Amino acid sequence: MSDAHAGDVNRRDFLYLATGAAGVVAVGGIAWPLVSQLAPNAREVAGGAPIEIDISAIEAGQVITVTWRGSKYFVYHLTEEEKAAAEKQEQSHFRDFVAADSRISGPEGGEAVWSIYAANCTHLGCIPTEVKGGGDTWNCPCHGSKFDVTGRVTKGPAPVNLPQPPMVFASAEKLIIGTDKVGA
């Protein structure tokens, strides 16, 4: 085979490769918008801005449910007894142990008696119901998972604790869910 012929073949191969590559780019360029449009739209995103909650009216022992980005969150005002019981509880009692105080917080200079966590079970997303009177506080109606007063899982099938949203106490009365920075 002469050199000239070999050069010709190389040039042809390059052309085919370049065309094929451009074809791949084209397919990618078509797929990109088709996938991107699945993302939450701008209105949804704007609607997902942090929410402010007035916590001054929530009595000790009371829990309220709030909605942020379409999902529910429990805002639990612990009583002294509940807090003490949660801190005393054995490590072996939990499936995904963390110290109770990592799940209890409060406004600067105020009492740390607030526990705030997602209301959807970490198994498959049902909302646990509150069980009054001793033992575990939350009982998931779907598959029987149980959580304590700070949202820590004590019984499966839920594998992990109820997650805590980003949040911050703006003042003694105002809780912000959705961000951990005041004024953001």
Partner 1 sequence: MSGHSTYHPTSGFGKFMDDRLPIARLVHDSFVSFPVPRNLNNFYTFGGILMVMLVSQIITGVVIAMHFTPDASMAFDSVHLLRRDVEYGHTLQSWHAVGASMFFIAVYIHIFRSLYYGSYKAPREILWILGVVIYLLMMATAFMGYVLPWGQMSYWGAQVITNFFSAIPLVGDTVREFLLGGYAVGNATLNRFFSLHYLLPFMITGVVILHVWTLHVTGQTNPTGVEVKSKQDVIPFTPYATIKDAFAMVVFMIIMCYFVFYMPDYLGHADNYIPANSNVTPAHIVPEWYFLPFYAVLRAIDFNIGIPFTDIVLIDSKLGGVLAMFGAIAVLFFVPWLDTSDVRSANYRPMYKIFFWIFAINAVFLGYLGSRPAEGIWIPLMKASTLWYFFHFIVIMPLLGWFEKPLPRPASITDAVLAKNGGASIAQIEGTAAEPQAKG
Partner 2 sequence: MTAKKERKMKMVFTKFAAKISAVVIASTLAIASSSVGARAAEDGGTPHYPLKKPLEQKWSFSGPFGHFDKAQLQRGLKVYTDNCSSCHSLNLLSYRNLSALGYNEQQIKNYAAEKEVTDGPNEDGEMFDRPAKSTDRFVGPFANDEEAKASNNGALPPDMSLLAKARAPERGFPTFIFDIFTMYTENGPDYIYTLLTGYQDAPDSVVVQDGLHYNPYFVSGNALAMSPPLIDDEFEYDDGTPGTIDQQAKDISAFLAWAADPKLDQRKERGFIVILFLLIFAGLLYFTKKKIWSDVAH
Q: Binders of partner 2 among 39-98, rule CB under 8 A?
A: 42-43, 46-47, 49
Of partner 2, partner 1, none, which one does residue 37 interact with (CB within 5 to 8 Å by kind)? partner 1
Residue 77 contacts residue 62 (beta carbons within 8 Å):
yes
Instruction: Say how far apart CA 107 and CA 172 lie, in whole Å.
Output: 5
Under the criterion CB under 8 A, does residue 57 sit at the interface with partner 1? no
CB atoms under 10 Å from CB of 79, counted, come to: 14
Measured from the CB of residue 37, what is the shortest distance to partner 1 in angstroms?
5
Task: Give phi and psi for 36, each to the nearest 5.
Answer: -55, -35
Under the criterion CB under 8 A, does residue 182 sit at the interface with partner 2? no
Instruction: Say how far apart CA 179 and CA 52 lie, in whole Å.
Output: 10
Task: Give the interface segment with partner 2, choosing from 11-19, 89-97, 136-144, 159-167 (CB under 8 A).
Answer: 11-19
Under the criterion CB under 8 A, does residue 56 sit at the interface with partner 1? no
Under the criterion CB under 8 A, does residue 16 sit at the interface with partner 2? yes
Of partner 1, partner 2, none, which one does residue 47 interact with (CB within 5 to 8 Å by kind)? partner 2
What would the two tokens of residue 153 be? 């899982």
How many residues in the chain?
184
Under the criterion CB under 8 A, does residue 29 sit at the interface with partner 2? yes
Q: What share of residues in the chain are helix, strand, coil (percent, to 5)?
A: 30, 20, 50
Residues that bind partner 1 (CB under 8 A): 8, 32-34, 36-39, 41-44
